[in-house]
A and B are shown apart, each in its own frame.
Chain A
């Protein structure tokens, strides 16, 4: 129990009768990074707003480390660091001034404020920007200031809404590294629609579509569905499909464009060795053999459009 930092119980939010989020329940443990995926308008931001107490749920409840967000909002909010989709920055202030205010509002005592500000700046790579006006910072640095204000009071839970949107690839890499680092000590929830990002930084994935949770599980479960029992094989001398099917373990062969073939095999078998040996023996001139990965995009599309979530979560 003490290990669970975020507990969402049947969260529902109605906007004029239409459910933006319905019946979303999940738990998050300490030291986990949870990725929130979903197409535009699926209810990611709404869920995050409810988790942080910015929006009252129509039904259901949120508990942060066992403290109810609706009954004791102050105590619960003290445990959260939140970066909304739109960065809440006071652009007329300098980085130091802004972070000091953030620290003060989170009830850090006088002597700890300076240390907390310095620490947050160092972690977000902002130390040399202390005296700059936030207005004059580049988009990426503004984003770092946004993350710095979310982690300044070392909260138990850090909630980041699309933290890498609009950044250049180097900054994205830095921020991902930062999220991973934060995830070692705190629990992190982040939303995104960049799939490789989820694979890189998250331990846990939730896919939400039209306000419903369609997938909730570990990243390894998602990866497993991604790889599947398939091989992509390329030959210069195209063999007969029957010859391939004769190989031990192969169940299905599909001819693709450009001389490639997709070979499906039975669970628990791996016919790649036999395929290579057969190829050499029969002179098929094998030039490529690799596991055939369904792209995460395909998995995502499958989940959000065919509602195959139930089977997948069971797997």
Chain B
């Protein structure tokens, strides 16, 4: 059932030009950064005289592309998640889902999985693109795996939050703006506490937890943070939809 809802969301996403345009634009951006990264690598590394300054091509190109990806997703995910529920609310199609034999949990998780599947296309694309470096070099696949997992968890968190904000309003644009602001605040939260990295508030920052993945480290603590973040917002979304049924 979750699968059927996800399928329906994907169909809607690809039925409008929006999905295709976002995919194309993002792939173009990632491709450009990849190309620049490869070009810059030789320039920078030929200038690096001491061996300590030299590091691998995977990391050099990878951090450019994944750095851009985490930043660009901040804009892309709210644009994609905004219509998940608010659009249905506006065009009054929610009763279609509510009167089908589905639980609210299935509906919400289905929508989440649908969006995540769409975004996974991009993550997979980045991973494949970086893997092509292996043709003429010996690259660090562990680094790519860690980054892909990190990026997946990051966009999953973005999607969960976006889904929640989408359930709050019947105006997709309002949902997009609200989720963008919330995500932006959560991303840069650790900058405000740069002087005191052990501060609890700094621990809430999404970026802080992404950083270990960006360095190629899979930390179970960070995974737990992202998973809890996702579950929290999915539960909030389910409760919000349930309130519709209870309060009308």
* Residues of B close to A86: CB separation below 8 A: 92, 95
> What per-residue 1/0 map shows which CB atoms of B207-248 lie under 8 Å from chain A?
000000000000000000000000000000000000001101
Highest count of chain A CB atoms <10 Å: which of B4, B16, B100: B100
Smallest Cβ distance from A296 to chain B, in angstroms? Answer: 30
* Residues of B close to A80: CB separation below 8 A: 99
Cross-interface CB contact of B248 among A15, A53, A92, cutoff 8 Å: A15
| A13 close to B248 (CB less than 8 A) | yes
Cross-interface CB contact of B4 among A46, A77, A93, A105, cutoff 8 Å: A105
| A82 close to B99 (CB less than 8 A) | yes
Docked CA distance A74–B100 (Å): 8
* Residues of A close to B97: CB separation below 8 A: 105
Tell me the chain B residues, 4-56 only, with Cβ under 8 Å from chain A.
Answer: 4-5, 7-8, 11-12, 15-16
Closest to A84 in B: B95
* Residues of A close to B96: CB separation below 8 A: 88, 102, 149
| A56 close to B95 (CB less than 8 A) | no
| B92 close to A104 (CB less than 8 A) | no
| B248 close to A77 (CB less than 8 A) | no
Smallest Cβ distance from B238 to chain A, in angstroms? Answer: 14
Tell me the chain A residues, 74-128 only, with Cβ under 8 Å from chain B.
Answer: 74-75, 77-78, 80, 82, 84, 86-93, 97, 101-102, 104-107
Highest count of chain A CB atoms <10 Å: which of B94, B245, B246: B245
- The main secondary structure of chain B at its interface with chain A is helix
Q: Is the CB of A54 closer than 8 A to any CB of chain B?
A: yes
With A91-B91, A93-B11 in contact, is A104–B101 under 8 Å at CB? no
* Residues of B close to A89: CB separation below 8 A: 91, 93
Q: Is the CB of B98 closer than 8 A to any CB of chain A?
A: yes
Docked CA distance A52–B97 (Å): 11
Smallest Cβ distance from A149 to chain B, in angstroms? Answer: 7
* Residues of B close to A13: CB separation below 8 A: 248
Cross-interface CB contact of B101 among A56, A74, A84, cutoff 8 Å: A74
Docked CA distance A77–B104 (Å): 13
Closest to A80 in B: B99
Docked CA distance A107–B93 (Å): 19
Docked CA distance A56–B241 (Å): 12
Q: Is the CB of B103 closer than 8 A to any CB of chain A?
A: yes
Residues of A within 8 A of B (CB): 13, 15, 46, 49, 52-56, 73-75, 77-78, 80, 82, 84, 86-93, 97, 101-102, 104-107, 149
10 closest Cβ pairs, A-B complex: A88-B96, A86-B92, A78-B101, A105-B100, A88-B93, A82-B99, A92-B15, A77-B101, A84-B95, A74-B101
Known: A13-B248, A53-B99, A88-B95. 10 other contacts (CB 8 A): A84-B99, A88-B91, A91-B91, A92-B12, A93-B12, A101-B8, A102-B100, A105-B5, A105-B100, A106-B100
